[in-house]
Amino acid sequence: MISDEPILSQDEREAINTGRWFSSLSPSLRHDILRYAYVKRYRDGELIAARGERPDEWVACAKGAVRISSTSVSGKQVTLTYVEPGIWFGDVAIFDGDQRTHDCYAHGESTVVCVSRNDFTKILADHTELYEALLRLNARLIRLLFGLVEDLNTLPLRARLAKQLVHLARSYGVPSLSHQEETRIGLHLAQEELAQLLGASRQRVNQELKQMEREELIRVEPGGLIVRSREGLKRIGNGDQE
């Protein structure tokens, strides 16, 4: 773990403060959360939290990404999602007191903000608003989970890939300086990592990416993916194209 600077940078603080959920909280609640919070920095691939551990921290990503994964019976690592800057997680395990259910790794050099279990309890006692806010947050996550399960069982890989690329462009998109309509996905994912998110093989995902590139929806570059037509990908994800 990198332990060079315990204070959030301006960009990291902005990522936390502008997160859709966190920014909806009252100023006094946001102040108290950050007052109790402490900063941890990790190098790419470092373990942040392990499956089976006691849930001692409530966590938010401030820079980079947190890869949430599990290991299959055969020993294969499966990536479930990537937590983007501004997103908080880990409160469910604190509430039910059970062990953490997944491993969390830094994807790229990453910064997280942590609130200890004891301080989390203090904040809840002082701000009943947080209970309702966390209910809203987890209700949204449950809706997203049901949507992912539905997509996995009803949509072809092409549509699931298109929806995933739209999500990545929205969460990690960097506008192109030379082409206003294009967006670079700032989160660098190997095709194997993208395939894990979709529950598919790398070979099949590679085929679909090549087809989308031929259709000028995306462009695959050594540094990552460029989304050339977000609207075109949305149409595929909505089933308007096959």
Summarised one tens digit per residue, pLDDT across range 129-161 is 999 999 999 999 899 889 888 988 899 999 999
pLDDT of residue 242: 47
Average per-residue pLDDT for the chain: 90
Give pLDDT tens digits for 215-236. 999 999 887 899 999 999 999 9
Is the separation of the CB atoms in 219 and 228 below 8 Å? yes
Q: Kindly report, residue by residue over 166-210, the tens digit of the pLDDT.
A: 999 998 988 877 777 899 999 989 889 999 889 889 999 999 999
Q: Are 166 and 237 spatial neighbours (Cβ–Cβ below 8 Å)?
A: yes
Give the number of other CB atoms < 10 A from CB of residue 62.
25
